[in-house]
């Protein structure tokens, strides 16, 4: 009788453990883009380390996967630096992956520098941003580091959201500029990478109209060079 009681208790403990495990799972989703071109990256490997579970992004860079709050999500793709983020308090995010090696061609802009009217306007915001990206002290507890990393990821996602919504998720602007200047998709994204490099300090702070004006002026000045 005692042996049967132990078996029942063991089965009950296993059932409760399984139920708790299932309840802890949360949905982790977002869009993965190139940090320079902000172009969606298809077929990025998205892996939950402890659960040994993975998926890949679709052709628009979107992904969805289940994980526990304590898990770490690993993003990897050939030619890009592997990125790891905690699943704790996850919200739909823009995940920016940086290339392992980035070689940009020399860019010459004739006449007035594109975007010069905004130069220096957001120096204070960018100074605070750089401060927030500094490495965390080694003596911080793991939970504290994870909370800071989550907050950083959320802030970065919010900062670039209007840019991504305007120029990444919707192909209308891309198709219009490609048609206007007779560009291939590769040429379009090469120019977009140069635009991002030139205007990185200001472009995330502009309104949609200001950003589009800046973008169109840049393509008009550089697409035929």
**Dist. CA 1–CA 23, nearest whole Å:** 33
Give the global pTM. Answer: 0.53
Mean of per-residue pLDDT scores for the chain: 78
> Which of 110, 47, 99 minimizes the C-alpha distance to 75?
47
Per-residue pLDDT, 123: 77
Per-residue pLDDT, 10: 54
**Which is higher by pLDDT, 105 or 199?**
199
Per-residue pLDDT, 4: 56
Q: Per DSSP, what are the bridge partners of residue 99?
A: 80
Average pLDDT, integer, range 50-66: 88
Average pLDDT, integer, range 33-39: 84
**Dist. CA 71–CA 85, nearest whole Å:** 9
């Amino acid at each position: 009788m005692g042996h049967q009681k132990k078996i029942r208790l063991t089965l009950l403990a296993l059932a409760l453990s399984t139920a708790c495990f299932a309840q802890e799972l949360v949905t982790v989703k977002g869009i993965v883009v190139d940090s320079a071109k902000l172009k969606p990256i298809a077929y990025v490997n998205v892996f939950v380390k402890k659960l040994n579970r993975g998926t890949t992004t679709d052709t628009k860079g979107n992904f969805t996967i289940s994980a526990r709050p304590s898990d770490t999500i690993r993003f990897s793709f050939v030619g890009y630096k592997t990125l790891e983020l905690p699943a704790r308090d996850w919200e739909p995010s823009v995940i920016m992956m940086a290339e392992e090696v980035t070689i940009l061609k020399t860019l010459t802009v004739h006449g007035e520098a594109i975007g010069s009217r905004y130069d220096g306007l957001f120096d204070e915001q960018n100074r605070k941003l750089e401060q927030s990206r500094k490495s965390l002290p080694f003596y911080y507890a793991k939970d504290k580091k994870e909370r800071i990393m989550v907050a950083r990821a959320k802030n970065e996602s919010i900062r670039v959201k209007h840019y991504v919504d305007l120029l990444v998720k919707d192909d209308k602007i891309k198709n219009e500029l490609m048609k206007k200047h007779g560009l291939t998709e590769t040429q379009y994204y090469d120019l977009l990478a140069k635009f991002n490099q030139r205007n990185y300090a200001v472009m995330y702070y502009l309104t949609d109209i200001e950003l589009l004006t800046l973008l169109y002026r840049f393509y008009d000045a550089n697409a035929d060079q």
